[in-house]
């Protein structure tokens, strides 16, 4: 819609034109402050320029009104144009708001260690990633989602140790000395119990069994994570194993050496990441020969870039921000364009319930489980809340808000709007087919406004995706629902003279609500 308007304007003004939404739809559907920027060049007052421009644009059939107010030019779309576009949208429900982008994108997110269930902090990144993925797909991007599984290294080892000691303590009554960072929480008890059932109590008698426990438990935890994600409708295209990537280590390491990216000092191998903007150089191979975590990430990113995407997006927790520089440095050393990697940081979440704050921690046993919150308020509400805020701000919310069945619960409010439209069709005994060719004539301004807003979805999706600002979509859905409820209250539909016109308008609103909800992973309700 915006493109269409811009192309019309281009015929008259050979400049970059900024089209914006007026604060108040009653000003018009689109507006431009172009005359302010032209004022200097033409040495005329913006108001005069706006007046002249509006006159020349008056005759375009796409507009029924072009008004110059205080230097702004406001455009109001014509009934003909709106009707034509509406009819097309309703006839092409699945293609409405789609686009045809061609960029190939690799999106990596969650990538939580398989050492325990997902907690609420992971959930935010998970929802963000999945929604970005859905929208990108809808807009036509060739996007692949990926989960990097840290199935090597000391955290996995610690998982085995935790289970082993737990078993010794619980089943063999041995007083154990717990290491500082061992994993606590009920799930470790459960794992120890399961291990006893599966391998026998003997397994807790010999320390040599720890690695066996590690690998057994790691697979169980990865499956648990997958099921946590699935409860929220999240599935991945790929899972990449860190352990398997190490097959390519020699090859990657040689490449680093050849590119003078690494050097040996104090018996360790260092990455010269300072050269490319990191604050210091980083160890990648310890003096005992074990690689550090960074080594794994270097192979992984080498692997990613070998697969040739146009863009790589990683969603990381905000606590990883210091990590970006060294990974980008490594990518550059490997001979790739580090600017193709974009890292989105998702900030902390604090959760309230009845005003009580929770502190979370992955290692302690008292973190908030993602699955608990899903059971509590449902996947829809959880997804929605994460998407109403920018990802880079701290978020605090009270779960009780999403249990209410009234307008204080946005999910409820939006679904209700959709359900109302559905019910109108039921009551009128009509289907979309019956009204799809109804001509929209002599529209009142409120009719026009709700229609226009309903048709705005493509622009919203484009903005939300390109700015990685998914709150624009949830905001839009709330507003659109508000339009529906307001219109519903002000107009009797069934049996009215304008029944078909109203139904067509409502059908368009419902289409956008349904499509928008689907993209944030929620199925619109037809009945409350």
Partner RNA sequence: GUCCCAAUAGCUCAGCUGGAUAGAGCACUUGAUUCCUAAUCAAGAGGCCGCAGGUUCAAAUCCUGCUUGGGACACCA
**Cα–Cα–Cα angle for 301, 222, 518, rounded to 5 degrees:** 80
Q: Which is nearer to RNA, 260 or 496 (CB)?
A: 496
Q: Does 319 engage in binding with RNA (CB under 7 A)?
A: yes
- Look at the block and give the residue holding tokens 């009845």: 354
Polymer length of the chain: 528
Q: How many residues at the interface with RNA, by CB under 7 A?
A: 80
Q: Does 397 engage in binding with RNA (CB under 7 A)?
A: yes
* Secondary structure of residue 417 in the 3-state scheme: helix
Q: Helical H runs in 45-153? A: 46-57, 79-91, 120-138
Q: How far apart are CA 184 and CA 196, in angstroms?
A: 18
Q: Does 4 engage in binding with RNA (CB under 7 A)?
A: no
Q: Does 180 engage in binding with RNA (CB under 7 A)?
A: no
Q: Does 44 engage in binding with RNA (CB under 7 A)?
A: no
Which 333-372 residues touch RNA, going by CB under 7 A? 345, 347-348
Q: Does 378 engage in binding with RNA (CB under 7 A)?
A: no
Q: Which is nearer to RNA, 46 or 167 (CB)?
A: 46
Indicate which single residue of 14, 43, 61, 70 sits in contact with RNA (rule: CB under 7 A): 70
Q: Helical H runs in 74-183? A: 79-91, 120-138, 154-171
- β-strand 282-285 against 268-271: which pairing, if any? antiparallel
Q: Measured from the CB of residue 308, what is the shortest distance to RNA in angstroms? A: 26
Q: Measured from the CB of residue 13, what is the shortest distance to RNA in angstroms? A: 15
Q: Which is nearer to RNA, 54 or 209 (CB)?
A: 54
Q: Does 302 engage in binding with RNA (CB under 7 A)?
A: no
Contact criterion met (CB below 8 Å) for 65 and 76:
yes
Which 95-134 residues touch RNA, going by CB under 7 A? 113
Instruction: Report residue 461 as tokens.
Output: 């999706």
Q: Measured from the CB of residue 408, what is the shortest distance to RNA in angstroms? A: 3
**Cα–Cα–Cα angle for 459, 460, 461, rounded to 5 degrees:** 95
Q: How far apart are CA 210 and CA 204, in angstroms?
A: 8
Q: Which is nearer to RNA, 194 or 398 (CB)?
A: 398
Which 143-162 residues touch RNA, going by CB under 7 A? 150, 153-155
Q: Which is nearer to RNA, 8 or 494 (CB)?
A: 494
Label residue 149 exposed, middle or buried (CB < 10 Å: 0-12, 13-18, 19+): buried
Q: Which is nearer to RNA, 193 or 397 (CB)?
A: 397
- β-strand 341-346 against 311-317: which pairing, if any? parallel
The edge-to-edge listing of strands for the beta sheet with 63-69 is 30-32, 72-77, 63-69
Q: Which is nearer to RNA, 305 or 323 (CB)?
A: 323
Indicate which single residue of 17, 47, 419, 436 sits in contact with RNA (rule: CB under 7 A): 419
Q: Does 408 engage in binding with RNA (CB under 7 A)?
A: yes
Instruction: Report residue 287 as tokens.
Output: 């003096």
Taken in order 55, 57, 63, 69, is the CA torsion positive or negative? negative
Q: Does 452 engage in binding with RNA (CB under 7 A)?
A: no
Q: Which is nearer to RNA, 176 or 348 (CB)?
A: 348
- Judged by CB under 7 A, the stretch of 33-41, 79-87, 448-456, 512-520 that binds RNA is 33-41
- Judged by CB under 7 A, the stretch of 91-99, 221-229, 321-329, 453-461 that binds RNA is 321-329
Residues in a beta bridge with 106: 144, 312
Q: Which is nearer to RNA, 244 or 427 (CB)?
A: 427
Provide the total of helices (H) and of strands (E) in the chain, helices listed first.
20, 14
Residues in a beta bridge with 312: 106, 341
Which 469-488 residues touch RNA, going by CB under 7 A? 469, 471-472, 475, 478, 482, 485-486, 488
- Judged by CB under 7 A, the stretch of 100-108, 130-138, 373-381, 492-500 that binds RNA is 492-500
Q: How far apart are CA 87 and CA 84, in angstroms?
A: 5
Residues in a beta bridge with 149: 241
Q: Which is nearer to RNA, 33 or 233 (CB)?
A: 33
- Judged by CB under 7 A, the stretch of 88-96, 133-141, 170-178, 407-415 that binds RNA is 407-415
Which 204-223 residues touch RNA, going by CB under 7 A? none
- What's the distance, CA 393 to chain centroid? 14
């Amino acid at each position: 819609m915006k493109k269409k308007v811009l192309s019309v304007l281009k015929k008259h003004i050979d400049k970059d034109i900024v089209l914006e939404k007026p604060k108040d739809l009653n000003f018009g559907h689109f507006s431009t402050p172009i005359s302010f920027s032209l004022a200097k060049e033409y040495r005329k007052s913006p108001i005069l320029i706006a007046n002249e421009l509006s006159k020349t644009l008056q005759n375009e059939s796409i507009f029924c009104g072009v008004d110059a107010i205080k230097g702004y030019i406001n455009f109001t779309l014509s009934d003909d144009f709106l009707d034509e576009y509406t009819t097309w949208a309703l006839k092409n429900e699945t293609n409405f708001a789609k686009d045809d982008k061609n960029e190939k994108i690799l999106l990596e997110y969650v990538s939580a260690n398989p050492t325990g269930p997902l907690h609420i902090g992971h959930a935010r990144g998970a929802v963000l990633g999945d929604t970005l993925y859905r929208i990108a797909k809808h807009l036509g991007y060739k996007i692949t989602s990926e989960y990097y599984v840290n199935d090597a290294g000391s955290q996995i080892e610690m998982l085995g140790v935790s289970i082993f000691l737990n078993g010794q303590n619980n089943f063999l009554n041995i007083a154990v000395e717990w290491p500082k960072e061992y994993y606590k929480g009920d799930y470790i008890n459960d794992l120890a119990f399961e291990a006893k059932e599966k391998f026998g109590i003997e397994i807790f008698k010999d320390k040599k069994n720890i690695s066996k426990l590690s690998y057994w438990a790691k697979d169980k935890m990865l499956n648990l994570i997958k099921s946590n994600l699935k409860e929220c409708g999240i599935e991945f295209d790929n899972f990449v194993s860190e352990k398997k990537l190490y097959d390519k280590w020699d090859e990657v390491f040689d490449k680093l050496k050849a590119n003078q990216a690494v050097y040996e000092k104090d018996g360790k191998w260092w990455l010269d990441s300072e050269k490319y903007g990191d604050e210091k150089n980083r160890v990648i191979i310890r003096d005992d020969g074990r690689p550090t975590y960074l080594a794994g990430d270097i192979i992984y990113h080498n692997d990613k870039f070998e697969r040739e995407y146009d863009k790589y997006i990683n969603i990381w927790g905000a606590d990883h921000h210091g990590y970006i520089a060294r990974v980008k440095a490594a990518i550059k050393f490997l001979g790739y364009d580090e600017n193709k990697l974009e890292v989105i940081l998702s900030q902390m979440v604090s959760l309230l319930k009845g005003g009580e704050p929770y502190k979370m921690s992955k290692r302690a046993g008292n973190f908030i489980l993602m699955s608990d919150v899903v059971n509590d308020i449902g996947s829809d509400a959880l997804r929605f809340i994460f998407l109403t805020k920018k990802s880079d701000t701290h978020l605090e919310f009270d779960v009780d808000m999403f249990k209410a069945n009234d307008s204080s619960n946005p999910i409820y409010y939006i679904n209700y709007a959709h359900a109302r439209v559905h019910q109108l069709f039921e009551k009128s005994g009509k289907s979309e087919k019956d009204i799809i060719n109804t001509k929209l004539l002599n529209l009142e301004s409120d009719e026009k406004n709700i229609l226009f807003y309903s048709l705005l979805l493509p622009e919203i999706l484009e903005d939300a995706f390109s700015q990685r600002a998914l709150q624009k979509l949830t905001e839009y859905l709330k507003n659109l629902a508000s339009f529906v409820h307001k219109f519903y209250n002000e107009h009797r539909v069934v049996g009215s003279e304008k029944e078909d016109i109203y139904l067509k308008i409502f059908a368009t609103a419902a289409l956008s609500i349904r499509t928008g909800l689907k993209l944030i992973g929620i199925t619109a309700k037809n009945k409350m």
